[in-house]
């Protein structure tokens, strides 16, 4: 069943805390405040980045990082950094993930595998098994691997971007990424993926399609530079 309009995208905090960490049962120990707060900040900085709101993104990222640094655990801070990198990659920003790399030696194996995946590096079977299930086929380089389902829009953009980084993204993958970003109202990745689509149209000499895409980009552009 499709999510209702306005429902939050799944798995913004894709690598922040193991599944179920925030769902303590009534008889179990109370979840520490830093975990609850950091999850909220990760979701907000990711959403703000994708929407193109750099000011809110920077503030929420700093707060997420501050919550985890209070634990004195660099592996947790590495997860915050990696989540930020995932949002950048989804928007086709392939700059090095310097914040994570500074903490790589203290990061857990799943985070190291995820960082390699985001970087478009070869991932072996053991590393692929550590990734979220819907990313494993793409990570392993399986021919014709499907993107994550449409109820995981963030994951779809990440997987499409990894294919793009490897020069393996077909026009169909690019179109799926455009549709995903558009449906979510995520200005930053939408502009990036429309730019790819425009270049593809230009390369095949399709001037009308290129002009149509440019009109879409012009419509989105004014709100993207905040």
| Residue 156 included in any domain | yes
The whole-angstrom separation of Cα 118 and Cα 87 is 10
Of the candidates 114, 109, 157, which has an alpha carbon nearest to the alpha carbon of residue 133? 114
| Predicted pLDDT at 11 | 53
> Which residue range forms the structural domain that includes residue 183?
33-223
Lowest mean pLDDT: which of 93-102, 150-159, 204-213?
Answer: 150-159
| Residue 210 included in any domain | yes
- The residues, any chain, with a CB within 8 Å of residue 114's CB and separated by 6 or more, are 14, 15, 82, 86, 130, 131
> Model confidence over 43-92: pLDDT tens digits?
999 999 999 999 999 999 999 999 999 999 999 999 999 999 999 999 99
Q: Predicted confidence band at 29 (pLDDT cuts at 50, 70, 90)?
A: confident
Q: Within the chain, where are the H helices?
A: 33-51, 54-69, 74-90, 98-101, 109-118, 125-128, 136-139, 153-165, 171-184, 187-203, 207-220
| Residue 95 included in any domain | yes
For residue 223, pLDDT over 70 is answered with no
Between residues 1 and 45, which one has the greater pLDDT?
45
| Separation of CA 31 from chain center | 26
| Residue 1 included in any domain | no
The whole-angstrom separation of Cα 166 and Cα 161 is 9
Between residues 4 and 97, which one has the greater pLDDT?
97
How large is the greatest C-alpha to C-alpha distance in the chain, in angstroms? Answer: 65
Model-level pTM?
A: 0.87
| Residue 173 included in any domain | yes
Contact 79, 16 (CB under 8 A): yes
| Residue 65 included in any domain | yes
| Predicted pLDDT at 142 | 82
The whole-angstrom separation of Cα 49 and Cα 217 is 18
| Residue 70 included in any domain | yes
Number of domain units in the chain:
1
């Amino acid at each position: 069943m499709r999510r209702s309009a306005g429902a939050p995208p799944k798995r913004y905090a894709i690598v922040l805390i193991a599944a179920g960490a925030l769902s303590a049962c009534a008889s179990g120990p109370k979840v520490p405040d830093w975990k609850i707060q950091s999850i909220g900040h990760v979701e907000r900085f990711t959403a703000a980045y994708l929407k193109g709101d750099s000011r809110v993104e920077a503030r929420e990222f700093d707060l997420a990082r501050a919550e985890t640094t209070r634990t004195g655990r660099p592996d947790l801070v590495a997860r915050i950094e990696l989540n930020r990198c995932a949002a950048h990659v989804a928007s086709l920003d392939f700059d090095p993930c310097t914040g994570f790399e500074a903490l790589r030696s203290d990061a857990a194996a799943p985070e190291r595998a995820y960082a390699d995946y985001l970087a478009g590096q070869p991932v072996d079977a053991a590393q692929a098994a550590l990734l979220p299930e819907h990313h494993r086929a793409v990570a392993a380089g399986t021919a014709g691997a499907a993107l994550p389902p449409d109820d995981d829009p963030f994951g779809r953009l990440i997987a499409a971007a990894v294919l793009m980084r490897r020069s393996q993204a077909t026009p169909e993958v690019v179109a799926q990424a455009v549709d995903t970003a558009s449906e979510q109202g995520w200005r930053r990745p939408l502009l990036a993926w429309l730019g790819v689509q425009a270049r593809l149209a230009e390369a095949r000499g399709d001037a009308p399609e290129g002009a149509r895409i440019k009109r879409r980009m012009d419509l989105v552009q004014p709100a993207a530079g905040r």
